[in-house]
Amino acid sequence: MNEILEMTINEMADASFDCSCGQHHTLGIKYMSIGKGTLPTIVDIAAPFKDKPVFMISDNHTFEAAGERTLKILEDNGFDVKSYSFQTGDGILIPDEKALGRLFMELDPGVGLIVSVGSGTLNDLAKYMSARTGIPYIIVCTAPSMDGYAADGAPMIKAGRKISFIATLPYAIVGDTDIMKEAPMHLIHAGFGDVLGKMTALADWYLAKEIAGDYCCETCVTLVQRALQKVVDNAAGLAKRDENAILYLIEALTLTGVAMGLIGISRPASGAEHMLSHYWEMDFIARGKFPELHGIKVGIATPIIAEMFELMRDDVPDCALELAPTREEVEELLRTAGAPVLPTEIGIERDLFYNSIIEGYTVRNRYSILQTAVDKGRIVECAKIITDRIYGAE
């Protein structure tokens, strides 16, 4: 029963089982190769596609981090590879019409496999291309920065607005910790923030189960919780790029994706902390400002939502309260890893912050602690308390 709980992360690829939640779960990812020195395993993983050209995509940062080596390994083993690398200088690649259009212009007829070397944006671009062309893709992860490696949604910027497209899962994930531990620290902090967000996301899931009668899969909760705990226990190692701390981080990020993939909803990964993050992001995009990395915002939003659970304690069922972390606990973890803690550290101003608490529940139609506060007529009170604590009383 639920044998997936006995498996290592790499064994979970292609899983298919009857779950105690009553559903049959399957994971449409063929291979996961996560661990130390796993990059060369791409040769065997990609072998079924060897008779057709391979299209490898990267940017100048990720080409240097892992693209050059990936290209050499594939070519040395007889693959016909066309490599396209975005030249963004010190800038950041944006997943918009321009980037996507360029990739489609570089895509030759007859390509049998896309290999994307990168993290957030390059993964999303490859995922979108793969979904539209039917060509499978392998992601070679360069940073443990977000949980989208094993997820099928591709957030893109269309006409200046962020839209999450349903795309496809990768054929394989190659996550070599020798590569990922060298990632820029800001990206590691982002991944850590996205993982900490699962603490409140799971509490929200239990809340929604108890109050709104939402479906909940205990197997997925356990999977995410166990991976999360390993990351929390090793938080101090991240600042030192400790091998195990990085491995646990990429495992937790991938496992969250696996949990989402198994049940086809993002509940295990995303609760009210993601609503705040999206609310801030939309405001930044609308003003033409760089919205900060996803996980950095989620990390900052997590203690805020933990505080919401504390303030709403009397209206929250015990099982959700038990799962919810305390604000101090999350802030301490962020500090331990050296990540940003307060919204003021990333340029979120008082009004935007206050409004995000009041209106955050409108970001998506999903029951969360913000909805509880709205329904109980206490959202304004909570927003005032938290805003005054962070920005000072007016």
| 19 part of the interface to Zn ion, by CB under 5 A | yes
Give the nearer residue to Zn ion in terms of CB position, either 133 or 225.
225
Strands (E), 91-169: 113-118, 137-141, 153-158, 161-166
Nearer to Zn ion, 19 or 342 (CB): 19
194 binds Zn ion (CB under 5 A): yes
Strands (E), 128-278: 137-141, 153-158, 161-166, 172-176
Cβ(10)–Cβ(35) under 8 Å? yes
Burial class of residue 264, CB neighbours in 10 A (0-12, 13-18, 19+) = exposed
Min CB(220)–Zn ion separation in Å: 6
d(CA 8, CA 170): 19
Is 265 among the residues that bind Zn ion (CB under 5 A)? Answer: no
Q: Nearest distance from residue 270's CB to Zn ion, in Å?
A: 6
Please name which of 202, 235, 251 lies closest in space to residue 35, comparing C-alpha atoms: 251
- Distance of closest approach, residue 118 Cβ to Zn ion, in angstroms: 17
Question: Of 194 and 251, which has the nearer Cβ to Zn ion?
Answer: 194
Q: Is residue 15 part of the contact set for Zn ion (CB under 5 A)?
A: no
Q: What is the Cα–Cα distance from 22 to 25, expressed in whole angstroms?
A: 9
Between β-strands 153-158 and 81-86, what pairing exists: parallel, antiparallel or unpaired?
Answer: unpaired
From the list 21-29, 134-142, 248-256, 345-353, the region that binds Zn ion by CB under 5 A is 21-29
Residues 146-185, one symbol each (x = binds Zn ion by CB under 5 A, - = not), give ----------------------------------------
Judged by CB under 5 A, the residue of 219, 356, 371, 372 near Zn ion is 219
In three-state secondary structure terms, 179 is helix
Region 305-334 residues binding Zn ion, contact defined as CB under 5 A:
none
- Closer residue to Zn ion (CB): 151 or 379: 151
Q: Residue 281 and residue 302: Cα distance in Å, rounded?
A: 15
Nearer to Zn ion, 222 or 326 (CB): 222
**Residue 217 binds Zn ion (CB under 5 A):** yes
Contact 382, 353 (CB under 8 A): no
Least distance between Zn ion and beta carbon 167 (Å): 16
Q: Binding to Zn ion by residue 33, rule CB under 5 A?
A: no
The one among 15, 21, 265, 341 contacting Zn ion by CB under 5 A: 21
- Does residue 216 touch Zn ion according to CB under 5 A? no
- The DSSP-derived string for 68-80 is HHHHHHHHHTT--
Residues that bind Zn ion (CB under 5 A): 19, 21, 194, 217, 219
